[in-house]
Amino acid sequence: MLKKKPAYNVAVVGVTGAVGAEMLEVLEARKFPVQTLLPLASSRSAGGTVSFRGEELAIMVLAPDSFKGIDLALFSAGSEVSKEFAPVAAKAGAVVIDNSAAWRMNQDVPLIVPEVNPQEVSRHRGIIANPNCSTTQMVVALKPLHDQARLKRIVVTTFQSVSGTGKEAMDELMDECRDLLGFKEAQPQVYPFQIAFNCLPQIDEFLPTGYTKEEMKLVHETRKIMGDHTIQITATTVRVPVYIGHSESVNIETERKLTANEARAILSAAPGVLVYDDPARKIYPMPLDVVGKDEVYVGRIREDESIPNGLNLWIVADNLRKGAALNAVQIAELLVSS
């Protein structure tokens, strides 16, 4: 745990990226007790500034000596940076909360979603992993159902926004839309194919099994966070031309039958979940509804008529917030409150 203090010295690594910028907003909005904030990025960002609590702070270049006197380091700069610098930060005395995939499946590193497995935070050894964005929103919605009826199987298809790739992908979608509407050809650079007005059934690299790394993250991370490796999970992940907000079509099979109304009642009482479900009035969650929101929205809750104990759900969340920055700050809040 962090040593109890009235306020903490906090570093944000990768501060100029989409998630790093969101981390600053969340820290400020939630009034996390920051004494000093150190914005860190690569040399490409040297000379720039970021705004925090009404002040302009100079961006410093990430280096091995960056973490002297730092209590808490929030990483959002990618796996290679995290592999190199997270141990350095931890050795310097900081607790690292890492948003990359670098440490998630390390058995000595807790993988935390505060609404699901907060008790795991106490076993950290200096590094705590933040899950993949699509995993986070799914387990927030499914853990309350698992507690009541035990999940046997999950089939999930994701519809993931370009902000999950980063600012360059958001810019690429904007550029492609502009070019195509101006009767010019799209020039994809970030993605292998045009993303504007298209869907790409590939996120991350393909494995020999035919699944992608992103799909297997959903499988392995969900089991680790839920603490149940018997749950059968299969996933298809799709990149869609949406700027912010991941959507998921999730089919579950439970050991004990849950009716749709029972599921709505359970989820309505669950932390971090907002049930937004009245199809007769065209009420169901969409990415536009969740931008800037902290909750995981759940709608289209209905019984799967093809099996005795099945449910279908539609789960949507702001991937930059609950899928990344907010979850990291919530982990930090766990640390300082314990």
Burial of 163 (0-12, 13-18, 19+ CB in 10 A): buried
Token pair 């981390």 is found at 23
Return the H-helix or E-strand segment holding 327. helix 326-337
Please answer whether residues 165 and 240 qualify as being in contact, where contact means their C-beta atoms are separated by less than 8 angstroms: no
Three-class secondary structure assignment of 107-174:
CCCCECCCCCCHHHHHHCCCEEECCCHHHHHHHHHHHHHHHHHCEEEEEEEEEECHHHCCHHHHHHHH
Segments in 167-300 forming alpha helices (H): 167-181, 213-226, 260-268, 287-290
Distance, CA of 288 to CA of 64 (rounded, Å) = 40
Please answer whether residues 316 and 246 qualify as being in contact, where contact means their C-beta atoms are separated by less than 8 angstroms: yes
Active site annotation includes 133:
yes
Distance, CA of 104 to CA of 26 (rounded, Å) = 22
Look at residues 252, 248, 286 and name the one whose alpha carbon lies nearest to residue 157.
Answer: 248
CA-atom Rg of the chain in angstroms: 20
- Which residue in the list 177, 220, 229, 246 is annotated as catalytic? 246
Distance, CA of 160 to CA of 199 (rounded, Å) = 10
Please answer whether residues 197 and 162 qualify as being in contact, where contact means their C-beta atoms are separated by less than 8 angstroms: no
User: Amino acid letter at 208?
Assistant: P
**Would you please indicate which residues are annotated as catalytic (active-site) residues?**
133, 246
